């Protein structure tokens, strides 16, 4: 008893074990009365509601001698996401300490030297705000950098006049321009206007009052950050469901960021997986690395040099890249040969004489088959044996937008004889394999095609985004909304002609939520999407409560007009021609149908994968697939879904009787993913093959609840093995087993995969395009059902 009493003070005097020390403490402020703050202590400074923490953050926790930065990070989010560091590039070891002197000076000392210091008044203390702002007296991390600037902006932080620098120091963002190597600007904010700040709801405000909205705009409960990553892209992230999700980015095409690849090198990328650098033919990686390439053989004689054509390649960092406006290809080549510093040239076969010489250097090259149809001609020595593998310019155009297709008109209703239009397909196939001559033939046709495009005014496109029209301009263009050409769930469509003679389709939107700025931001996103198979958005008007979009006019009208003959005005088209009953449409042959399917698939894949995951169409149906010259398919109404609420979309589609295209998950409360578009596409694909509406059969509306078109088609094609039974009666006679079986089989099988009831079973749109192309094997599909609906 007395012994234990004696021992008690002794026990109390024993210092706490190191483990207790390591868990030291949460503090809410750090001042001169606190002992020096050591990295090994594990002490953290928490913001009042514990959203952020500050302290020594080990860089490589498992390394033998840990290095630390004094940083601010999100408390409780793993992996650790640092938003600011005092010494990002000047780490300290375990011997470092942070102290505040009674006089109000803050020192980060290491190895006897001061690494970072801040001055304030006596009694100042270090504290951390709930917004992540570290404060010491008048100093705050939001407005002043540490030793070097940070790479992250947080909500409520003032961005005006503050610069972000990527961790690797290569890229910077000065609240307006993204810059490589201090001088090379590769992105400028919309409207060339400074970013001021970002709010909790995901809106970035700009100096001119415009704003940029995140994909999840409106949600105030998520954490957000705007970060300039080491790849040079500026991205806005939201933290939800345990991970950071990108909700906005400055550069959808990473390869257009300057400096990712070095001299002579070409940047290639595949969306999600980032980018890589390759050397063009005739070049090899130079020894010193840095993604640079050098010529294998120097050009000995310029007059005898060869040029290799690199499709879809653009070098944007040359000296004085002026468009020389030449008469033809040979002129451009001659100009390049005449200039001693010319390394190659870019030429466009669009009849405009676009010709840009690459002088002295080949810099910031990228390959982008998305929409531009330009080619780079690279000078190599005559002895060079490499051949170009940057090809595809011709096949992209030929497979979805062929030139000069002629189709027969349907026979009289009673007649059953149909011309065998397979001849046309064969002609095309022959053309494709006719070797060298083909390229020049293609050029001639292509020029013709582009000339047609030109008359539609494609060349007059403003380079810097959509044009803002006034209501008066729109009224003048449409002569006071005189010529309606369609009506749809999103609004009425009128034909018009702009003052520059461009023919346009003017869509007046109904029930659009959000203010001016939101609308503008949305339209900017839509207008950024360029693809051969997407209807171009040329401008918009937001005035006096009006919300109007100005699109390119697509002359042939919508796909449903061609597909469903018996359908007597089931639904009016959206941007097509007036539905004149007497208007006799030619019949689409199998080759054209296949191209339409492929073009549409590629465009949706582009929306889903090359833009951002969240650009869903949500209303794929034949009415929204317009047919341009030579039946080049063009998707309309993309991006508009974002202007709508989900409930609106569901009810809207009911009203319009297009329920047949909505994926089952729309009816449930599930989240809508890109797979909903895949389902709709599957339905359209099946209709392209069968020539009937999925909720109609041979002209009569199916009323039975159990009838499910995909299920029926599946049984016919894969159980009864009578694929002919589901083919369009109108051109069934043109169906030749030998020629078309593979084509039609691919379309039907792909449709079946797209129509799987569970979203996760459906392939991605990129995969769908590949399945149609025949570049991936298609497994036997399962029978599509609608059981999923009855699950709960
Ligand atoms: C630090 O604060 C967090 C959040 O309030 C709490 O969960 C944790 O237990 C605290 N740690 C210590 C050692 O007090
Ligand atoms: C803080 O003040 C001292 C003298 O008062 C000065 O020498 C020092 O440069 C100041 N440090 C900073 C970071 O302003
Ligand atoms: C903490 O405070 C910030 C800023 O006031 C707020 O955005 C955040 O939602 C709060 N977090 C929690 C967990 O309360
Ligand atoms: C942004 O900073 C500049 C320079 O300090 C200043 O002239 C301008 O008024 C600021 N803009 C806003 C909106 O604060
Ligand atoms: C930080 O250090 C890295 C590696 O030494 C260097 O490449 C980079 O330029 C530095 N960053 C800054 C902002 O100084
Ligand atoms: C961005 O670049 C433009 C063009 O060089 C320049 O006029 C502007 O001042 C830059 N913006 C900032 C914030 O430096
Ligand atoms: C960066 O710019 C300097 C001159 O301003 C130049 O010497 C250097 O080669 C450039 N670096 C790269 C990677 O382009
Ligand atoms: C990214 O790479 C993974 C693995 O290499 C591959 O499975 C995936 O298809 C790629 N994604 C894209 C969009 O190419
Ligand atoms: C090449 O890229 C630059 C910059 O992105 C662009 O201005 C130019 O129009 C492109 N050239 C062609 C032929 O597409
Ligand atoms: C750029 O090239 C054009 C045509 O060769 C020439 O007229 C112009 O002077 C050049 N500009 C510069 C700045 O070198
Ligand atoms: C061309 O070949 C190089 C080297 O084999 C390869 O890395 C590159 O991806 C190829 N380019 C294309 C467009 O396929
Ligand atoms: C299409 O081809 C036909 C016959 O080859 C020709 O008569 C017609 O002019 C061509 N049309 C266009 C737009 O090139």
- Mean pLDDT value across residues 165-194: 91
The pLDDT of residue 671: 67
Instruction: Give residue-wise pLDDT tens across range 769-782.
Output: 989 988 888 888 98
Task: List strand residue ranges (DSSP E) for 617-708, in order.
Answer: 625-627, 633-635, 696-697, 700-701
3-state secondary structure of 105: strand
CA atoms within 13 A on the CB side of 536: 24
The pLDDT of residue 11: 39
The pLDDT of residue 145: 59
Q: Nearest Cα to 714, choosing from 666, 785, 645? A: 785
Cis amide bond preceding 348, omega within 30: no
206 lines ligand 6 (CB under 6 A): no
The pLDDT of residue 752: 94
The answer to whether 657 and 591 are in contact (CB under 8 A) is: no
Which of the two residues, 479 and 311, has the higher pLDDT score? 479
User: Which ligand has the nearest atom to the CA of 128?
Assistant: 3
271 lines ligand 8 (CB under 6 A): yes
The pLDDT of residue 642: 60
89 C-alpha vs ligand 5 centroid, how far in Å? 6
Atom 9 of ligand 7: nearest residue by CA position: 181
> Which of 251-255, 315-319, 643-647 is predicted with the least confidence, judged by mean pLDDT?
643-647
Which residue blocks in 89-157 are alpha helix, DSSP H?
Answer: none
Give the position, in ligand 4's atom list, of the atom nearest the Cα of 160. 1
3-state secondary structure of 781: coil
Q: How far apart are CA 777 and CA 770, in angstroms?
A: 9
- Could you say which of 560, 571, 589, 619 is catalytic? 619
Check pLDDT > 50 for residue 461. Answer: no
Non-local (6+) Cβ contacts of 31 within 8 A are 100, 123, 124, 125, 126
Structure tokens given for 198: 């970002």
Give the position, in ligand 4's atom list, of the atom nearest the Cα of 196. 13
Atom 6 of ligand 1: nearest residue by CA position: 26
The pLDDT of residue 495: 93
- Mean pLDDT value across residues 169-196: 91
Say which CATH class 587-621+657-773 falls into.
mainly alpha
Which of the two residues, 790 and 482, has the higher pLDDT score? 482
b (16+ CB within 10 A) / e for 408-446: eeeeeeeeeebeebbebbeeeeeeeeeeeeeeeebeebb
Rg of the chain over Cα atoms, rounded to whole angstroms, equals 31
Check pLDDT > 60 for residue 651. Answer: no
Check pLDDT > 80 for residue 567. Answer: no
- Mean pLDDT value across residues 141-165: 83
Write down the CATH number for the domain with range 467-552. 3.30.200.20
3-state secondary structure of 362: coil
The pLDDT of residue 369: 65
Instruction: Give residue-wise pLDDT tens across range 568-600.
Output: 444 444 433 444 444 577 888 888 899 999 999
Non-local (6+) Cβ contacts of 521 within 8 A are 190, 210, 211, 212, 213
Q: Are strands 97-100 and 152-153 parallel, antiparallel or unpaired?
A: unpaired
| Dihedral (CA of 251, 252, 258, 262) sign | positive
The pLDDT of residue 679: 92
Q: pLDDT averaged over the chain?
A: 78
Pocket test for ligand 6, best of 177, 178, 208 (most atoms within 8 A of CB): 177
In degrees, to the nearest 5, what angle opens at C-alpha 261 toward C-alphas 256 and 267? 55
3-state secondary structure of 545: coil
Which of the two residues, 273 and 689, has the higher pLDDT score? 689
Check pLDDT > 80 for residue 646. Answer: no
| Dihedral (CA of 615, 619, 620, 625) sign | negative
The pLDDT of residue 585: 77
Atom 13 of ligand 11: nearest residue by CA position: 390
| Dihedral (CA of 561, 567, 569, 571) sign | negative
Model-wide pTM > 0.85: no
Residue 667 zone, left/alpha/beta (φ > 0; ψ -120 to 50; rest) = alpha
The pLDDT of residue 165: 92
The pLDDT of residue 575: 39
Active site annotation includes 619: yes
Residue 673's pLDDT band, with cuts at 50, 70 and 90, is: confident
546 lines ligand 5 (CB under 6 A): no
Which of the two residues, 191 and 365, has the higher pLDDT score? 365
- Mean pLDDT value across residues 193-221: 87
> Which of 280-294, 480-494, 656-670 is predicted with the least confidence, judged by mean pLDDT?
656-670
Q: How far apart are CA 203 and CA 206, in angstroms?
A: 10
Q: Nearest Cα to 77, choosing from 255, 223, 214? A: 223
Q: How far apart are CA 194 and CA 364, in angstroms?
A: 25
Measured between its terminal Cα atoms, the distance across the chain in Å is: 69
Instruction: Give residue-wise pLDDT tens across range 208-249.
Output: 888 888 877 778 889 999 999 998 999 999 998 889 988 888
User: Which ligand has the nearest atom to the CA of 323?
Assistant: 10
Structure tokens given for 620: 């794929």
The pLDDT of residue 661: 82
Residue 747's pLDDT band, with cuts at 50, 70 and 90, is: very high
Instruction: Give residue-wise pLDDT tens across range 18-61.
Output: 443 445 588 999 999 999 999 988 899 999 999 999 999 988 76
Say which CATH class 1-141 falls into.
mainly beta
The pLDDT of residue 741: 82
- Mean pLDDT value across residues 261-265: 91
Give the position, in ligand 4's atom list, of the atom nearest the Cα of 158. 14
The pLDDT of residue 108: 94
The answer to whether 484 and 493 are in contact (CB under 8 A) is: yes
Instruction: Give residue-wise pLDDT tens across range 308-326.
Output: 989 888 898 888 888 888 8
Which of the two residues, 111 and 514, has the higher pLDDT score? 111
Check pLDDT > 90 for residue 136. Answer: yes
Beta strands across the sheet bearing 223-228? 152-153, 223-228, 234-240, 243-249
Give the position, in ligand 3's atom list, of the atom nearest the Cα of 131. 4
The pLDDT of residue 389: 82
Residues with CB under 6 A from ligand 12: 404, 448
Atom 6 of ligand 7: nearest residue by CA position: 181
Check pLDDT > 60 for residue 404. Answer: no
């Amino acid at each position: 008893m007395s012994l234990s009493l004696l021992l008690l003070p002794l026990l109390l005097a024993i210092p706490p074990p190191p483990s207790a020390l390591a868990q030291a403490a949460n503090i809410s402020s750090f001042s001169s009365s606190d002992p020096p703050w050591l990295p090994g202590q594990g002490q953290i400074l928490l913001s009042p509601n514990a959203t952020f923490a500050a302290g020594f953050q080990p860089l490589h926790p498992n390394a033998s001698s840990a290095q630390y930065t004094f940083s601010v990070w999100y408390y409780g989010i793993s992996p650790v996401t640092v938003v600011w560091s005092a010494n990002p590039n000047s780490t300290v070891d375990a011997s470092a300490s942070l102290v505040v002197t009674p006089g109000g000076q803050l020192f980060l000392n290491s190895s006897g030297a001061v690494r970072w210091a801040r001055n304030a008044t006596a009694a100042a203390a270090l504290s951390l705000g709930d917004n992540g702002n570290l404060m010491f007296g008048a100093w705050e991390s939001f407005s002043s950098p540490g030793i070097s600037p940070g790479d992250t902006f947080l909500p409520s932080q003032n961005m005006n006049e503050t610069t972000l620098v990527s961790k690797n120091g290569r890229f910077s963002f000065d609240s307006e321009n993204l810059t490589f190597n201090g001088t090379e600007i590769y992105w400028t904010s919309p409207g060339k206007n400074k970013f001021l700040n970002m709010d909790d709801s995901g809106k970035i405000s700009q100096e001119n009052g415009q704003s940029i909205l995140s994909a999840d705009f409106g949600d105030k409960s998520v954490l957000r950050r705007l970060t300039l990553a080491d790849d040079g892209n500026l991205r806005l992230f939201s933290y939800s469901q345990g991970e950071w999700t990108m909700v906005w980015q400055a550069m959808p095409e990473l390869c257009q960021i300057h400096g990712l690849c070095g001299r002579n090198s070409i940047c290639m990328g595949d969306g999600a997986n980032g980018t890589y650098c390759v050397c063009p033919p005739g070049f090899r990686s130079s020894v010193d690395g840095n993604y640079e390439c050098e010529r294998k053989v120097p050009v000995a004689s310029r007059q005898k040099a060869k040029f290799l054509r690199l499709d879809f390649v653009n070098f944007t960092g040359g000296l004085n890249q002026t468009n020389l406006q030449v008469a033809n290809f040979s002129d451009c080549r001659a100009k390049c040969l005449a200039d001693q510093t010319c390394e190659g040239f870019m030429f466009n076969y669009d009849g405009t004489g676009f010709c840009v010489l690459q002088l002295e250097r080949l810099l910031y090259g990228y390959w982008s088959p998305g929409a531009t149809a330009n080619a780079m001609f690279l000078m190599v020595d005559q002895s060079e044996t490499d051949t170009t593998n940057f090809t595809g310019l011709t096949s992209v155009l030929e497979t979805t937008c062929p030139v000069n297709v002629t189709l027969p008109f349907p026979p009289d209703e009673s007649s059953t004889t149909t011309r065998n239009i397979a001849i046309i397909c064969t002609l095309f196939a022959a053309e494709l394999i006719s070797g060298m001559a083909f390229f020049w033939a293609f050029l001639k046709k292509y020029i013709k095609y582009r000339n047609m495009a030109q008359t539609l005014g494609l060349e007059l496109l403003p380079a810097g985004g959509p044009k803002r029209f006034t209501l008066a301009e729109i009224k003048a263009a449409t002569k006071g909304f005189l010529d309606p050409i369609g009506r749809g769930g999103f609004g009425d469509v009128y034909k018009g002609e702009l003052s520059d003679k461009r023919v346009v389709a003017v869509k007046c939107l109904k029930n659009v939520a959000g203010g001016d700025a939101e609308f503008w931001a949305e339209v900017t996103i839509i207008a950024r999407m360029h693809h051969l198979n997407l209807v171009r958005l040329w401008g918009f008007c937001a005035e006096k409560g009006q919300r109007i979009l100005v699109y390119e006019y697509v002359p042939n009208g919508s796909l449903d007009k061609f597909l469903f003959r018996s359908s007597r005005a089931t639904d009016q088209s959206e941007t097509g021609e007036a539905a004149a009953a007497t208007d006799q449409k030619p019949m689409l042959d199998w080759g054209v149908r296949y191209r339409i399917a492929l073009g549409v698939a590629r465009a949706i894949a582009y929306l889903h994968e090359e833009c951002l995951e969240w650009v869903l169409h949500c209303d794929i149906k034949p009415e929204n697939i317009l047919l341009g010259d030579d039946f080049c398919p063009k998707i309309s109404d993309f991006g508009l879904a974002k202007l709508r609420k989900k409930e609106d979309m569901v009810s809207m589609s009911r009203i319009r009787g297009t329920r047949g295209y909505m994926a089952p998950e729309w009816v449930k409360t599930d989240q809508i993913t890109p797979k909903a578009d895949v389902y709709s596409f599957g339905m359209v694909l099946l209709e392209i093959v069968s020539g009937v509406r999925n909720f109609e059969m041979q002209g009569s509306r199916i009323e039975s609840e159990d009838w499910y078109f995909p299920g029926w088609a599946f049984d016919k094609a894969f159980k009864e093995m009578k694929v002919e039974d589901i083919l369009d009666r109108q051109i069934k006679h043109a169906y030749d087993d030998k020629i078309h079986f593979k084509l039609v089989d691919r379309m039907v099988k792909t449709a079946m995969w797209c129509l799987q009831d569970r979203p996760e079973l459906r392939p991605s749109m990129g995969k769908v395009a590949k399945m149609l192309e025949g570049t991936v094997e298609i497994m036997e599909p399962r029978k599509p059902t609608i059981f999923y609906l009855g699950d709960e």
